[in-house]
Amino acid sequence: MDDDFLKDLINEVNILLNKNLFKDALQFVTLNCIKNPKIQTSPFFHNILGLIHLNLKDWETSIKCFEKSIEINRKFTPAYFNLGIAKYDLGDLKNSYEHFVKVIEFDKDNKRAEENIIKILNCIDLDKKDNPLTNANRELQKINLDIDYEKKISNDKIIEILNKSNSIISKFIPKYTFREHQLLFHNQKDLNCERHFRIFKKFNTLSKNCFSCFKIVIFLYDVYDLIKLSFIFNNLNFLNNFESKCRIDFNNNHYRGYIYCSSIDEINNVTKTIKNILEINFDEKFSIETRRGCSEFSVKYPNFKKIETNINDMFQYPKLWEESEKLIDQQTYKDGIAKIRNIKKPLRGITLNSYLIINNWLNYSKKNN
């Protein structure tokens, strides 16, 4: 097999993948496979073919490709990593975990595999006693938050919880760094925002789905308040069916929480309930807004974010935009129909994922206040 031929093929496929031209990439690989059938003996070939199918959300076919790559080379780390991604997207977190562990077995310093394990442990508690990440996660889960959400959460209570967490982390994974700064609480189906942004970036049009996406934005000005809000989001039953997240607003040097709703009635009801809880915990030190969709969309279409009592008085979806959605879906999904990941709800209480993100918030606050 010609190594240069395979190298050129992989480079060209990566260019097409970066442009989201997934079906073009599949066609390109298929034609080149006919020209040079010997490339099918390479694990690199089956791995890049699997990546194309993974991007097309054809998870089952991608898994077969990655498994073929491993069949050719049992130590081919990229295929194990990509198998972990495919299994994660399908919601098979236990098998996803095993594949990322296999990556670390061959590449003990693979940070990306470790980070994916941490994200998995945010949703399931695995009985794996030989891994410091699972050990730390299990011990963190044992911490009893003991918070009455009908009363004000004190900073002393937060510090107590963090001290317990620090003690556990220092025992199992001292000096661990984590790149994430957003704490996500997936409680609904996948919103498929990746697809919607592709449509916007390519055509400057919005997906019809975005017209039924409403959000509550909570502005906070103290890092301990952001930590309290993350506990509220993760542990209050009335938010069980709503997507939410907490993050740092780096541009304005303050902190934000978001709750996502799918109708005006929902956003009104949730706003009323959450506002009472915010008033108990944050006194006057917060502000709250409601708007439709992502802020990027409102830069292009200023009226889009405005919420009116009557939905018919709001910015309406132009029927012509359906063509943009069809074009994107034809190029980026195997059968031209949008598919979503099988996401899982996070565990209640403290996880390794939430601890490390909260620690990033604290480190940011120390440097910028």
pLDDT at residue 284, rounded to an integer: 82
Mark which of 79, 99, 121 sits at the end of a domain: 121
Judge whether residue 205 has pLDDT over 60.
yes
Asked whether residue 263 is domain-assigned, the answer is yes
Is 92 in the same domain as 200?
Answer: no
Which H or E element spans position 258? strand 254-261
Which H or E element spans position 249? strand 243-249
Categorize the per-residue pLDDT at 189 as very low, low, confident or very high, splitting at 50, 70 and 90. Answer: confident
Question: Distance between CA atoms of 335 and 15, rounded to whole angstroms?
Answer: 22
pLDDT at residue 318, rounded to an integer: 96
Is 233 in the same domain as 106?
Answer: no
Asked whether residue 144 is domain-assigned, the answer is no
Is 117 in the same domain as 195?
Answer: no
Please give the backbone phi and psi of residue 249, each rounded to the nearest 5 degrees, phi first. -90, 95
Is 190 in the same domain as 280?
Answer: yes
Is 225 in the same domain as 334?
Answer: yes
Looking at this protein, which amino acid is placed at residue 322?
Answer: E
pLDDT tens by residue, 139-174: 999 999 988 888 999 999 999 999 999 999 999 998
Question: Distance between CA atoms of 365 and 362, rounded to whole angstroms?
Answer: 5
Judge whether residue 57 has pLDDT over 80.
yes
Mark which of 82, 101, 121 sits at the end of a domain: 121
pLDDT at residue 1, rounded to an integer: 54
Q: Select the more confidently predicted residue: 247 or 367.
A: 247
Cα-Cα-Cα-Cα dihedral of 181, 187, 190, 192, to 10°? -50
DSSP one-letter code for 346: P
Is 89 in the same domain as 213?
Answer: no
CATH of the domain at 85: 1.25.40.10
Most confident by average pLDDT, 226-230, 294-298, 308-312: 226-230
Residue 144 CA, distance from chain mean position: 26
Judge whether residue 274 has pLDDT over 90.
yes
Is 208 in the same domain as 78?
Answer: no
- Alpha carbons within 13 angstroms on the beta-carbon side of residue 138 total 12
Question: Distance between CA atoms of 344 and 187, rounded to whole angstroms?
Answer: 7
User: Looking at the whole model, is its pTM more than 0.85?
Assistant: yes
The 10 Å CB-count burial string (b at 16+, else e) for 168-178 is bbeebbeebeb
Question: Distance between CA atoms of 217 and 231, rounded to whole angstroms?
Answer: 16
Categorize the per-residue pLDDT at 110 as very low, low, confident or very high, splitting at 50, 70 and 90. Answer: very high
For the chain, the distance separating the N- and C-terminal CA atoms, rounded to the nearest angstrom, is 59
Is 109 in the same domain as 216?
Answer: no
Q: How many DSSP H helices and E strands does the chain contain?
A: 15, 5
Closest CA to 21 of 65, 64, 56: 56
Ramachandran area for residue 32 (φ above 0: left; ψ -120 to 50: alpha; else beta): alpha
Categorize the per-residue pLDDT at 267 as very low, low, confident or very high, splitting at 50, 70 and 90. Answer: very high
What's the whole-number mean pLDDT along residues 234-244? Answer: 91
Categorize the per-residue pLDDT at 305 as very low, low, confident or very high, splitting at 50, 70 and 90. Answer: very high
Judge whether residue 306 has pLDDT over 70.
yes
Is 212 in the same domain as 326?
Answer: yes
Asked whether residue 90 is domain-assigned, the answer is yes
Question: Distance between CA atoms of 89 and 83, rounded to whole angstroms?
Answer: 10
Residue 185 CA, distance from chain mean position: 9
* 107: containing domain: 3-121
Asked whether residue 130 is domain-assigned, the answer is no
Asked whether residue 293 is domain-assigned, the answer is yes
Is 117 in the same domain as 193?
Answer: no
Asked whether residue 89 is domain-assigned, the answer is yes
Mark which of 121, 137, 163 sits at the end of a domain: 121
pLDDT tens by residue, 309-337: 888 999 999 999 999 999 999 999 999 99
Under 8 Å between Cβ of 214 and 262:
yes
56-60, 188-192, 354-358: which has the minimum mean pLDDT?
188-192
Judge whether residue 239 has pLDDT over 70.
yes
Average pLDDT of the chain is: 93
Asked whether residue 271 is domain-assigned, the answer is yes
pLDDT tens by residue, 167-183: 999 999 988 889 999 99
Is 16 in the same domain as 111?
Answer: yes
Is 97 in the same domain as 220?
Answer: no
Categorize the per-residue pLDDT at 2 as very low, low, confident or very high, splitting at 50, 70 and 90. Answer: low
Total number of domains constituting the chain: 2
Asked whether residue 173 is domain-assigned, the answer is no
